[in-house]
A = this chain, B = another copy of it.
Amino acid sequence: MVVSIIGIGLLGGSFALALRQKYPNVRFVGVDTSVVNQKIALAKGIVDEIVDLEEALTISELNVLSTPVDAISKMLPRMLDLLPEGRTIMDLGSTKELICQLADTHPKRGQFVAAHPMAGTEDSGPGAAFKELLPHKNVIVCDKEKSNPDSLGLVETFLRDAGMKIHYMKPVEHDLHLAYVSHLSHISSFALGLTVLDKEADEKAIFAMASTGFSSTVRLAKSSPQMWAPIFDQNKTNVSKALGDYIELLKKFKEAIDNKDLDTSLNYMSRANDIGRVLAGIEKK
């Protein structure tokens, strides 16, 4: 069996590395527009061979589309056009509504499975891929009833064999929740990093004074702009709403500080403390 990884980055690369341990007889081929990514993917043993997109679609039982989401939207309809009968395309994109809508209008909709693993780091590219990224993580599969049983079964088996726990969800739900539990975190971190960099032209002061709390909060500001700009764009309505909610709360917090209204500050923080219970649940899962 041949599996293709189209867009060999952190997610696609880590998926291949996790699967290779369970599937010694599968040949992994890679498609990537970046020559450096091609070389790194071969050097790390993520894929056995680099091929072009048409060839990948011709030879692969499963095609894993793991490019940034703007490229997924552009490529998916044409890839379905070229896809032979009985073969499957899955994507790993961080947004699902637009991608599923595009697939819905295609006659080969059944051969597509929409998935999104709840895993990542602030690093990107095949150099950042590692086989431990996906095991024990959750993965969301959307609109499973629109996929053929064979395509769905193949994808579910591979996701489980990569060590992941599958949850099912509508694309609309997925994008709404993700705006709050992922996309907003990234924007808050990008903006925090930039606010501090703009103010603290003297980096020595940051080095001397920042501690682990700061590092943890701005870590996501290292994330890839090319990956995140299209995510925010494809999930514009939800992200804008989440960001609006966040800004409103920050303004109220600022007002409480300005007015020396410690009761209100204390109330916000005490309620926020409840996130400890949620984090314990995330770490336990």
Contacts and interface: CB of A to CB of B under 8 A. Distances in A.
B194 A271 contact: yes
Contacts of A213: 120-122, 182, 185-186, 219-220
A196 B241 CA distance: 12
A267 to B, nearest CB: 8
Contacts of A119: 211-212
Give the size category of A's interface with B: 35 or more
Contacts of A200: 177, 180-181
A192 B188 contact: yes
A219 B216 contact: yes
Copies in the complex: 2
A261 to B, nearest CB: 9
A99 to B, nearest CB: 17
A107 interface: no
Given A242-B199, A250-B247, A278-B207, A266 B226 contact: yes
A23 interface: no
A250 B219 contact: no
Given A218-B185, A229-B266, A257-B236, A177 B190 contact: no
A98 interface: no
A180 B199 contact: yes
Interface in A153-194: 167, 173-174, 177-178, 180-182, 184-194
Contacts of A266: 225-226, 229
A282 B88 CA distance: 46
Interface of A: 118-122, 137-138, 140, 167, 173-174, 177-178, 180-182, 184-200, 203, 205-223, 225-226, 228-230, 232-233, 236, 239-240, 242-247, 249-251, 253-254, 257-258, 260, 262, 265-266, 268-276, 278-279, 281-283, 285
